[in-house]
Amino acid sequence: MERNCRPPATTAIPRGDVEDPTNSSIPRGDVEDPTNSSIPRGDVEDPTNSSIPRGDVEDPTNSSIPRGDVEDPTNSSIPRGDVEDPTNSSIPRGDVEDPTNSSIPRGDVEDPTNSSIPRGDVEDPTNSSIPRGDVEEIFPRAPPPLRMAK
């Protein structure tokens, strides 16, 4: 019994030519030359989902191709930036390594699907210059005195 070994006629994300990677007429997201950002990789973990470009998995320092969200690849609203090279500030991570840098919003780590609540400074919640989306009440003045138990 013959089996059809040919790829489907139409694919949402052309993988290029997996069987013949030397055939450059079908881009693979440039597996052979990951530094070439003109050929997006798409999503290596889920190649059927083209809405989350992986960017350059082999060369994470190439910020021209955003990684999207490696932890939750279905949520493209929270860009991870540079997971492999967090020191590369050209790819924002929400600044996990440097939470005092308010120019890169954390989003909401407790509720990562809600990008409208910036976490700000999770490590230093007393720093009011980085809003936490009011996850914890930050008092601009001293907190009120404790009430005596009756």
User: Is 115 in contact with 91 (CB distance < 8 Å)?
Assistant: no
pLDDT exceeding 90 applies to what percent of the chain? Answer: 0
pLDDT tens digit sequence for 6-63? 444 433 333 333 444 454 454 444 344 445 445 444 434 444 444 444 443 444 454 4
| Residue ranges per structural domain of the chain | 11-89, 102-133
pLDDT exceeding 70 applies to what percent of the chain? Answer: 0
Query: 3-state DSSP: the chain helix, strand, coil percent, rounded to 5?
Result: 0, 0, 100
pLDDT band at 143 (very low <50, low <70, confident <90, very high): low
Task: Give the SS3 label for residue 28.
Answer: coil
pLDDT band at 145 (very low <50, low <70, confident <90, very high): low
User: Is 131 in contact with 118 (CB distance < 8 Å)?
Assistant: yes
Q: Whole-angstrom Cα distance, residue 119 to residue 48? A: 32
pLDDT at 147 over 60: yes
Cβ-based neighbour number of residue 38 at 10 Å: 9
Q: How far is CA 102 from CA 54, 63, 83, 119, 137, in A?
A: 25, 20, 19, 10, 18
pLDDT at 25: 52
Q: Is the pTM of this model over 0.75?
A: no
